[in-house]
């Protein structure tokens, strides 16, 4: 959102939950998992004018490749004592939040703005 000079979406109106490792892992699961599909997501983000150096930095591959961070993350959580129900609920919340942010970006850019942004970024 910062790259696009767009306002942050409003915070959730739900209750604020104190830090909980299971909730944190649920959110991280979505973030780390998105890296596995980043090749596809990177191509889709181009339609919005977002690249691995502008607006979609989180989709850029790590120097060691896309799969290594997932393996490390998975190994760390496999043996952790976590509340599975909370992890899943938090992952669903994270996915919904990211979807809301993407929808907002598309609305703010508009169809023409997204296409123009894609052309200008690809030209860079």
Q: Residues 18-35: pLDDT tens digits?
A: 789 999 999 999 988 877
Query: Can you give the C-alpha Rg of the chain in angstroms?
Result: 16
| Annotated domain spans of the chain | 21-123
Q: Cβ(42)–Cβ(56) under 8 Å?
A: yes
Write the CB contacts of 106 (distance below 8 Å, at least 6 apart in sequence). 48, 114
* pTM attached to this predicted model: 0.62
Tens digits of per-residue pLDDT, 32-72?
887 787 878 788 888 888 888 888 887 888 888 878 888 88
With 70 as the cut, is the pLDDT of residue 118 above it? Answer: no
Largest CA distance in the chain: 48
Phi, psi of 70 (to 5 degrees): -65, -45
Indicate the pLDDT class of residue 123, thresholds 50, 70 and 90.
very low
DSSP 1: -
Which tokens go with 39? 């090749």
Residue 121 to residue 11: CA distance in whole angstroms = 29
Fold of 21-123: Heme Oxygenase; Chain A (1.20.910)
What whole-number distance in Å separates Cα of residue 69 and Cα of residue 33? 10
């Amino acid at each position: 959102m910062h790259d696009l000079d767009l306002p942050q979406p409003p915070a959730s109106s739900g209750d604020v939950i104190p830090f909980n490792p299971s909730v944190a892992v649920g959110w991280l699961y979505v973030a780390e998992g998105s890296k596995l599909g980043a090749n596809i997501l990177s191509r889709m983000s181009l339609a919005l004018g977002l690249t691995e150096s502008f607006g979609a930095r989180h989709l850029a591959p790590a120097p060691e490749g896309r799969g290594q961070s997932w393996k490390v993350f998975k190994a760390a959580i496999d043996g952790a004592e976590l509340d599975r129900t909370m992890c899943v609920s938090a992952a669903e919340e994270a996915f919904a939040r990211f979807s809301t942010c993407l929808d907002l970006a598309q609305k703010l850019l508009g169809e023409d703005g997204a296409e123009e942004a894609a052309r200008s970024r690809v030209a860079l």
